[in-house]
Amino acid sequence: MKKNKLIVFSILFLCFASISFSQKKKPEFKKVIDSILIVKPTTYKKINYYIRPFRRDTVKLKQLIKVFSTSNYLDGKTYVENLLGIRYRNYSFYKKAIKIHNQALETAKKAKNIEFQVFSLNMLGVDYRQKDNLRTALDYNQAALSLAETVKNPSLGFRRSIAVSHNSMGNIYLTLKQYDFAIQQFNKSQIIEKSIHNKLGLAINNQNIGYAKDAQGKIDEALQYFKKSLVINNALKNPFGQVICNDNIANIYIKQGKYNKALQLLKKILPEAKKIGNNDQIASIYINLGWAQTKLKNYANAEKSILKGLSIAKKYDLTLAIATGYSYLSELNQETSNFNDALKHYKLAEEFDEKVSNARNSQYVNDLILKYDSERKNNQIKDLAKQNEITKLQLTKSRILWGISLGLLFLFGIIFYYLYRNKLLKNEKQIITLEQDALRSQMNPHFIFNSLNSIKLYIIDNEKENAVYYLNKFSKLIRKILVATHEKEITLAEEIETMELYLNIENIRFNNEIDTAIVVDENLSINTIKIPPLILQPFIENAIWHGLSLRKQNKKLRIFIKKSENTHVDIIITDNGIGRKKSAEIKQKKRYKKSSIGIQLTKERLQNFCKEYTNNCSLNFVDLYNEKKEANGTKVILKIPLN
């Protein structure tokens, strides 16, 4: 229900309809066209002065686009294209809206008009938000905000666009139930609206903050914000805002136990909602009316009201309104002891609520995976560039070698020898550095995708609480990975902390069946020991997915870290899985044999890392057996030099 109300407010807000409808007679259409083509204004405010009387006439908007296109008046064309896209969106023609708003964005770019580029980006954000494509919507609104903030001494139009971007991002956070973030964005929008004296913007932000407070259970605070919004809407004589505010106030009255007061208010605004013709709001009022009548034990009328609201909601596919209606029907049947019907309607309410929630969560995570897929491809391109640079350096080294050899035959041998030696060492160091960067750029997307696929399984299994918890853990892990990406080496303490997060995330997928522990020698200074970043992850991943995942119970994984003869630090990873031999047999039987590069990459990284150390690295795998000579897991012994 709240989402449907938010859509109405967002449409009003993003259309910049800060003044009530003009009551004056519309000027003649041809005269307006002639006048605007003489002046050809370039800002929203000035163009709106001419076009405002016709902005709700779809036929005339299409005519204006043709006229402005023929006259090469691009600023006017992008303005009208955005208005036409809003008309399509109001009638739920989202594909048409997205198409025309993209067209408006391209026109604004051709006109080099930043104000209308920002306007078009904000409109695309609203289009995608109403389709529940939240990640894409947020990207467009953030792009609009970033572009608007590049303008020094922004005009009224730019400041309003910045307010719109904050409001839109607040609505996205509200939809994702991130209420504190939503309120932060609404407050930022509110500050700008006050500075530009946009009363409608103030009303809308007060209303949105009220939604967030209500969702947090702070109904008294929510009521105050709804009333603030109503005062402004009354002053503006805005019937849409008045109806929506009063409907929400009535909803709060019911929650406060003021049933008669809510009933009177809902009956008062119902004729006004019908007059406006907003089916979202009509359905909401009928359903709230039925809820109030249920509380007053007027069960017959309550059922009629809720069913009427449900009928409208189903006709216009208002999913959240349908879920709310079934929830109130369940409560009504419970009050009248019709427990079978109560259970049936409760299940229907849950079904529609889950339908909306799952669609949003799946879309959000799929967008995250697409984003990291793009980053992986970019990393591959960077990797190829680095490999090319390595080849060039190697060729340069060869040329220098030949040049020095020839020079030694004719000039002072010792002088040229030292020059050659210095240049050679410098090139070798650059090669090592670039090789390490190239290996890291392959490693990070490999690691990220394993974690993202883990998260996606939770979403598919419809475990919302675990998904949110998982996402929080994952975000912390990503931050550490991003920091490690730019580091040649990190401390052993940082690596341990990152691996603890990784183990925690992977273990969640196994319902915490794996008994994990990291044991560190007390005499070891892990804050001073340096190792390559993410060096342990491939071994831990192999232990979990090729060893422990195929074991039925009593799964254990241990990591022991200790000093070895004051020259090395030993990192020992043991598991009690099925063993390497059994794992290889299972992999051989699979129809699709995935090629793993994690261990090979790690070996190459270790070799490069140890080139700068006195002692060498070593990596050994040991197969473990029980008393019956049966495979009982694998031990990985990694030795890293200290000096």
- Of 100-104, 125-129, 250-254, which range is least confident? 125-129
Q: What CATH number is given to the structural domain containing 63?
A: 1.25.40.10
Q: Is residue 344 part of a domain?
A: no
**Average of per-residue pLDDT across 146-166:** 82
Same domain, 224 and 254: no
Most confident of 68-72, 155-159, 483-487, 629-633: 68-72
479-526 residue pLDDT tens:
877 777 677 788 999 999 988 988 888 887 778 889 999 999 988 888
- Does 65 share its domain with 126? yes
Residue 360 lies in a domain: no
User: Is 179 inside any structural domain?
Assistant: yes
103-126 pLDDT per residue, tens? 999 999 999 999 899 999 989 988
Residues 455 and 596 in one domain: no
Nearest Cα neighbor of 478 from 449, 458, 520 is 449
More confident residue, 462 or 165: 165
- 285, two tokens: 């009022």
The band of 393, judged by pLDDT with boundaries at 50, 70 and 90, is confident
Based on the fold, state whether residues 8 and 135 are members of the same structural domain: yes
Whether residues 601 and 624 share a domain: the answer is yes
129 and 161 co-located in one domain: yes
> Residue 355: what pLDDT?
64
Q: What is the dihedral sign for C-alpha 44, 50, 52, 58?
A: negative
d(CA 636, CA 119): 58
- What per-residue confidence (pLDDT) applies to 225? 95
- Residue 269 sits in the same domain as residue 221: no
Q: Please indicate, yes or no, if residue 382 is contained in any of the structural domains.
A: yes
Angstrom distance (rounded) from CA 239 to CA 271 = 11
More confident of the two residues 436 and 395: 395
Q: Which residue matches tokens 């879309």?
A: 363
Backbone angles phi, psi at 434, to 5 degrees: -65, -35
Q: Decide if 485 contacts 471 (C-beta within 8 A).
A: no
Residue 436 sits in the same domain as residue 458: yes
Residue 469 lies in a domain: yes
User: Is-above-0.75 flag for pTM?
Assistant: no
Residue 194 covered by a domain = yes
Pairwise CA distance, residues 371 & 377, whole Å: 10
What CATH number should be reported for the domain holding residue 536?
3.30.565.10
Cβ atoms 79, 116 nearer than 8 A: yes
For 153, phi then psi, to 5°, come to 50, 60
**Does residue 636 carry a pLDDT above 60?**
yes
| Region of poorest pLDDT, from 132-141, 336-345, 370-379, 531-540 | 370-379
Based on the fold, state whether residues 373 and 453 are members of the same structural domain. Answer: yes
Boundary-marking domain end, from 486, 517, 552:
486
Cβ pair 501, 477 in contact under 8 A: yes
Whether the pLDDT of residue 643 is over 80: the answer is: no
pLDDT of residue 432: 54
- What pLDDT is recorded for position 13? 47
562: pLDDT strictly greater than 80: yes
Instruction: Indicate the pLDDT class of residue 11, thresholds 50, 70 and 90.
Output: very low
| Residue 589: per-residue pLDDT | 75
Number of structural domains found in the chain: 4
Q: Would you state the structure tokens that stand for residue 330, as one six-digit string? A: 């369940």
Q: 300 and 250 in one domain?
A: yes
617 in the same domain as 501? yes
**Which of 428, 459, 486 is at the close of a domain?**
486
Question: String of b and e for 32-48 (b: at least 16 CB within 10 Å)?
Answer: bbeebeeeebbbbeebe
Burial of 465 from C-beta contacts in 10 A (0-12 / 13-18 / 19+): exposed
525 lies in a domain?
yes
- Please write the tens of the pLDDT for every residue from 194-232: 998 889 889 999 999 999 999 999 999 999 999 999 999
Hunting for tokens 């409907």 — which residue is that? 247
How much is the pLDDT for 593?
55
In tens, the pLDDT along 316-353 reads 878 778 888 898 998 999 989 898 988 888 888 888 77
Specify whether 561 is located in the same domain as 634.
yes
Task: State residue 638's pLDDT score.
Answer: 93
Please say which residue of 437, 471, 486 terminates a domain.
486
- Domain of residue 327: give its range: 238-337
Highest-confidence range of 252-266, 277-291, 534-548, 587-601, by mean pLDDT?
Answer: 252-266
pLDDT at 434: 47
Beta carbons of 542 and 616 less than 8 angstroms apart: no
Residues 6+ apart with CB under 8 A from 510: 544, 548, 549, 555
Q: Is 50 exceeded by the pLDDT of residue 599?
A: yes
352: in domain: no
Distance CA 162, CA 166 (A): 6
pLDDT 10s digits, 12-67? 444 433 333 333 445 688 888 899 999 999 988 899 889 888 888 889 999 999 99
| pLDDT tier at 379, thresholds 50, 70, 90 | low
In whole angstroms, what is the distance from residue 636 CA to residue 244 CA? 65
